[in-house]
Amino acid sequence: MNTMTTIEGKLDAKGLKIAIAATRFNDFIVERLVNGALDYLCRHGLEPENVTLVRVPGAFELPLICQKLASSKKFNGIVALGAVIRGSTPHFDYVCNEASKGIAQAMLQHSTPIGFGLLTCDNLEQAIDRAGTKSGNKGVEAAEAMLETVRVLEQL
């Protein structure tokens, strides 16, 4: 057991270049995710001048922008932030499915870690819970997952 190799990512964002893609749709919620992600990353050493924030219309547009950011190779990691709130139409399912599939595809295609901070909620109350109140802040969690993955990936 003591010869085992363990690879872990240090939560140190110093010197990294990070892009955040955030939706304008449900901006009231998403702004809290953006602030949570920025606060987390800066408290872990990220210099504000190394952050690029890209605003996109809605969750459906996140995959294209993440793909473009990843293929540019200008960023060590990306955080995708948005909120889809269920209405009475199947639109919700299409938007969620396409957004999550596309973001995963961009990450795999370009080997660039993307923190998945897209809330998929049944109602506004759930979204508020996950944007810095009862259930924490999913923007922070997405930023942390991205940072850990960047640091693991560079050791592999």
CA 69 – CA 74 distance, rounded (Å): 7
Structural contact between residues 20 and 55, judged by C-beta atoms closer than 8 angstroms: no
Question: Is 82 among the residues that bind ligand INI (CB under 6 A)?
Answer: yes
Shorter beta-carbon distance to ligand INI: residue 10 or 94: 94
CB of 82 to ligand INI, least distance (A): 5
Asked whether 81 and 74 are in contact (CB, 8 A), the reply is: no
Smallest distance, Å, CB 64 to ligand INI?
10
Under the binding rule (CB under 6 A), the answer on residue 95 touching ligand INI is yes
The answer to whether residue 93 forms part of the interface with ligand INI (CB under 6 A) is no
Two structure tokens written together for 104: 């995963």
Residue 49, classified by CB atoms within 10 Å of its CB into exposed (0-12), middle (13-18) or buried (19+), is exposed
With CB under 6 A as the rule, give the number of residues binding ligand INI.
Answer: 16
**Segment lying near ligand INI (by CB under 6 A), choices 13-21, 36-44, 87-95, 143-151:** 87-95
Neighbours of 109 (CB within 10 A): 11
**Residue number with the shortest CB distance to ligand INI?**
58
**Is 91 considered catalytic here?**
yes
Catalytic residue among 74, 91, 101, 134: 91
- Nearer to ligand INI by Cβ, of 36 and 150: the residue is 36
- 84 contributes a contact to ligand INI by CB under 6 A: yes
Closest CA to 150 of 75, 72, 66, 99: 75
According to CB under 6 A, which residues from 35 to 64 bind ligand INI? 57-61
DSSP string, 23-41: ESTTHHHHHHHHHHHHHHH
Catalytic positions, please? 91
